Structure 1
Amino acid sequence: MNAIEETKPKQYVPLLQPIFSVEEQTVIGYESLGRVRDEKGSLVVVPEFLDPHVTPLRMTMIDRELLRLSLTNIKDTSDQLFVNMSPDQVILEYEESKGNSLPIAEIVQESGIPLDRIVVEITEKSGSYGTDVLAAGVELLREQGFRIALDDVGSESSNLERLGAIKPDIIKIDLNHLKKSIEKREYQSILEYLKQISLSIGSQLLFEGIETEEELYQAVSSGATFLQGYFLGRPLQYREDKQIIKDVVVPHLHLYHESKRNEVAKEIEFEKQIKSKLTTLPLKTITLGDRVIIDPQSFFKLDPLIQRVYVTDWQGTQVSPYYERTSESGFVENMSFLQKNWSYMPFFYKHVKQVFRDSGNWQVSDPYWDKTLKKKVIVFSHVNEMGYSFFVDLVLEEG
């Protein structure tokens, strides 16, 4: 490469990937993904984006140029624009600020686009500064009017400390990165955990990396407000017709909701059948000192899905042996859990609450993953006339 080629200015091109709102049932914005045109005229990833040694200043100069170009694409629309910024770039914005105005804010304001239409995605890269410093820089962005997203949450490189400190408006989860880094069961559990975190801090979930119908269903089931990925639309130089994307996604969402309604109906019917069987049993107890004796055989004869039976007192302390199925008709009596307190389990106080509402009927928990059985388990519970709580664990069949 000669000197003239080395000094030739690069032609940066932002590609726009659509972001679909589950709530609004349409595309509400685009993520700007930087590309550069090479000597053959092809669009390739900006080399600096792949270089771990590139300085924050150099990266910022490139990103600002891409931002200016991206803004022209959404200027005459109401679309939101998602732009990436590393932790070190956030601090650089603060250091280069003039008064209360950040350089990125001035660029956006020059375009005439309101700042609240720009979502700054804080990337998963580690920074040169602590979380507290990063949080202060992010807060300044927020004060300017920008919305904040935290990228790649749940992947191996992300940390929950940053999530708690920033409290982003949007939590981005890449399904593909997540699946590659963890086992399937842990993958499901982490999605449920992130869903609960988003609810607790008031964040919305954006699932990216959606490439199949199954992944779209997984995202919606896990609380997605926004969807992004090749299944919805690839990064392009232009804004794809929203109606085209809507015509692809909305029918799948309708199928998902129909499937969920059928699933709920089956769950309710299953619960009714089990409750009907359990209601036939007299919940007799015999107290011997600090131990309670029951008839476990009557439970295991009721249904092959029943795996465990035990009894606690009102405080949640187990007072009966732990009866566990071993075969079609056999079970063992496990004494090791006597006096163990189960009140810390999520289903226990749900059971208490339901008893207060309706003490005459069997209650049922939400399904949870049982590490010992390696299956989903649902817990049926009831309080007998002596005040003892019966807990019956059933495994849920797959599918």
Structure 2
Amino acid sequence: MNLPRFFPDPATVMPHFQPILSMDTQTIYAYEVLGRYSGPHGVRSLGPFFHDPSVSMDEHIFIDRIIRQKAIASLVNAPENTRLFLNLKPNWIYNYRARPDQLPTLRFLREHNVDPSRITVEITEDAFLDDIEELARVTRTYREAGCQIAIDDVGSGFVNFDRIAYIKPNILKLDLELVKKCGRESFFREILFSFAVMAEKIGAFLLFEGIETKEEVQIALSLGARYLQGYFFSPPQATMQNPNAFRSGLNHEIQQFVDHALWQQHADQRDAEEMRDNLLACLPRLGEGERITLDACDVLIDPFLKQLPRTVIRVFLCDERGYQWSSNFTRQNGQWEKNGSFIGRNWAWRPYFLNNIVKATYQEAGKLSAVYTDAHTGEKMRTYIYPIPENLFLCLDLTIES
């Protein structure tokens, strides 16, 4: 038996507001507008209605416009810096490709005399099979009117990088499921970090939604989140809240993040200095006028291998352009094995390599790379690069002990 399709009474539809917190001011930056309706069992979410495939797009749009208009009207009596995030599906926007000047949201803003800069148009990561360039052109109308643009649920399913490239969002909203998985599997943290790097490169800010725990707050901060949103702070409310309502708690979380980050930086510096001291103690000294030749590289490395910490699992010698001069010396079952097939390979393509080479050269000190995952073994690694004469660099790959 088919259940009757649910369609809310338009008179009962209303917006609710979930705060989005800014890390730089520790205040409420904006509110995401979410649909609710008042029924016999109290106020309920309109989420099931908007995700019901049996409801037509026109019906979805009809109810959503009521919510949008009421939300925009609420800005009239709100403080001047109050901002809203309004969810719009790509297909809804695309319908106005031939008449972007008639976009309902912009019309509502004009009717209520609300500055468009107080609105962020949030485009969901729904399936979209039409012309992405046309969608971007219509989206540009919002931007030119003064609105900001966000892409929602980045990282859910397969990421539409073409949509990000064409739309050029101001804000990327990270899918809450990836945030939650970060606490269980480090691989997801690496995926989120790639979005943080991308956001920095394209001049966008990261917003992490769905934050429910202190751990997720710390994960988001470690990945460069400028904005946070979730039930850890507040569920959606019928009214807007005091902008400073979460300042104290957020300050505490930021301080915890800073304390841990500074501790990690100091620990990294100590590790780098300890590695330098170990190398200086066991590296052979070159005589006056003596030069390192390609043939002598393995002879240079071999004598001090047994003196290296057990976390060092690979040693090799490169020049400043990334070309390997020595064999690979790899620790296998406690013994060092030599593989000459790596001589002549180039590692300049590795993200950390050239940056650390330059730092090691100018500072005349060893540099420890950031943690990365070895593509061959799947292990967490760091590489220590130490400058030696003849513009050569001793490279030590270290495992990260759990």
CA distance in 2, matches of 1:6, 1:294: 78
Letter of the 1:342 counterpart: W
Gap change, CA 1:200 and 1:7, over 3 Å in 2: closer
Q: Verify the 8 A CA contact 2:360 2:385 in the aligned structure 1.
A: no
Letter of the 1:195 counterpart: A
SS of residue matched to 1:304: coil
**Residue 160 of structure 1 corresponds to which residue in structure 2?**
161
**Residue 396 of structure 1 corresponds to which residue in structure 2?**
400
**Residue 83 of structure 2 corresponds to which residue in structure 1?**
80
| Cα deviation code 1:155-203 (max 9, x no counterpart) | 2143111111111000000232465599823312211111111111100
TM-score normalised over the length of structure 1: 0.89
RMSD: 2.6
Q: Once the 2 structures are TM-superposed, how far is the Cα of residue 114 of structure 1 from its aligned partner?
A: 0.6
| Cα deviation code 1:34-72 (max 9, x no counterpart) | 122234344232543012354433222222110122123
CA distance in 1, matches of 2:160, 2:23: 27
CA distance in 2, matches of 1:34, 1:56: 16
SS of residue matched to 1:280: helix
**Residue 304 of structure 1 corresponds to which residue in structure 2?**
310
CA distance in 2, matches of 1:226, 1:163: 19
CA distance in 1, matches of 2:7, 2:52: 18
CA distance in 2, matches of 1:242, 1:139: 30
The 5-angstrom pairing of residues 1-399 of structure 1 reads 9-75=10-76, 76-77=78-79, 78-95=81-98, 97=100, 100-177=101-178, 179=180, 184-283=185-284, 287=293, 292-328=298-334, 330-358=335-363, 360-398=364-402
Q: Once the 2 structures are TM-superposed, how far is the Cα of residue 121 of structure 1 from its aligned partner?
A: 0.4
Letter of the 2:358 counterpart: K
Q: Which moved more, 1:348-357 or 1:106-115?
A: 348-357
Gap change, CA 1:357 and 1:387, over 3 Å in 2: closer
Gap change, CA 1:326 and 1:289, over 3 Å in 2: closer
Q: Verify the 8 A CA contact 2:183 2:216 in the aligned structure 1.
A: no
Identity, in percent, stands at: 28
CA distance in 2, matches of 1:222, 1:167: 20
Q: Verify the 8 A CA contact 1:296 1:309 in the aligned structure 2.
A: no
CA distance in 1, matches of 2:359, 2:147: 44
Q: Verify the 8 A CA contact 2:33 2:84 in the aligned structure 1.
A: yes
Q: Verify the 8 A CA contact 2:178 2:188 in the aligned structure 1.
A: no
CA distance in 1, matches of 2:9, 2:351: 63
Q: Once the 2 structures are TM-superposed, how far is the Cα of residue 95 of structure 1 from its aligned partner?
A: 4.2
Q: Verify the 8 A CA contact 1:351 1:364 in the aligned structure 2.
A: yes
SS of residue matched to 1:345: coil
TM-score normalised over the length of structure 2: 0.88
Q: Verify the 8 A CA contact 1:313 1:389 in the aligned structure 2.
A: yes
Letter of the 1:92 counterpart: N
SS of residue matched to 1:390: strand
Gap change, CA 1:128 and 1:156, over 3 Å in 2: closer
Letter of the 2:149 counterpart: I
Q: Verify the 8 A CA contact 1:38 1:44 in the aligned structure 2.
A: no
CA distance in 2, matches of 1:140, 1:219: 31
CA distance in 1, matches of 2:161, 2:227: 21
Where structure 2 has 5 or more consecutive residues not aligned to the other structure, the ranges are 1-5
Letter of the 1:346 counterpart: P
Q: Which moved more, 1:86-95 or 1:107-116?
A: 86-95
| Cα deviation code 1:247-296 (max 9, x no counterpart) | 32221111221222222222212222111111223256864659743333
Q: Matched residue pairs, number? A: 390
